[in-house]
Amino acid sequence: MDTVRLGFALLVAALGPPGAEPAPAVEEAPAAMVVVRVVDCDGRPTEGVFVFLEEEGQEGRLLSTDALGAATAPIDPATPHRVRAAATSGDAWGLTGWQPLAEASTGLTLGLLPAGTLAVESAGPEGVLRLETRGWDLAALLAKLGAGPEIYPGTPLLIPGLPEGDYTVVLKEQSRPVTVRAGSTVRVSFE
């Protein structure tokens, strides 16, 4: 077969015979975009903040904010689900609860709020702590940054930058309820 006939055969294969209706284009559903904006306690955008974006039933993602204080991520809208976000600058946190994707796709704003400190001591058990508040485990999020809080007997551990609220601090089988207040330190002991 010469080059001209081969080219025509390939064209017919791709487009169909002359006069045929073109095949309908297959359109993919565009990904929904979720923008998480992080602001400081005065409402100013905050650059370089770590953002944890979680989709219900999916592995969470670690993002960071740009110069405008925004972290953007595509989300597959094919299945209905909820999303939530947490953010930390190292000395403050912002947290959202679960929100439907339709609401979250209009944007989430997290304020880095005034923070308190948790002082943890252990007389015996050692290991990685869980630090649960509002459905989040902040210790697990810190572990994703390589800074998961681990406690050793006789060595106090300070965890600053925690948002106000009620927490459950867990070490092995022991758990302690505590309330963190901005500007103060709350102590927790494990035997």
Overall average pLDDT of the 166-175 stretch: 96
- pLDDT tens-digit readout, 60-70: 999 999 999 99
Kindly indicate the confidence band of residue 58, based on its pLDDT and cuts at 50, 70 and 90.
confident
Q: Which residues, including other chains, have CB under 8 Å from residue 101's CB and lie 6 or more apart?
A: 32, 34, 75, 77, 80, 81, 82, 83
φ/ψ of 59, rounded to 5, equals -70, 135
Phi-psi region of 69 (alpha: psi -120 to 50; beta: other; left: phi over 0): left
Average pLDDT, the chain: 86
Listed residue (164, 169, 180) closest to 112, CA to CA? 164
Q: Is the pLDDT of residue 24 over 70?
A: no
Overall average pLDDT of the 170-174 stretch: 95
Domains belonging to the chain, first-starting first, are 32-111 (2.60.40.10), 115-190 (2.60.40.1120)
What is the pLDDT at residue 9?
Answer: 47
Overall average pLDDT of the 121-141 stretch: 95
Q: Is the pLDDT of residue 22 over 80?
A: no
What is the pLDDT at residue 132?
Answer: 97
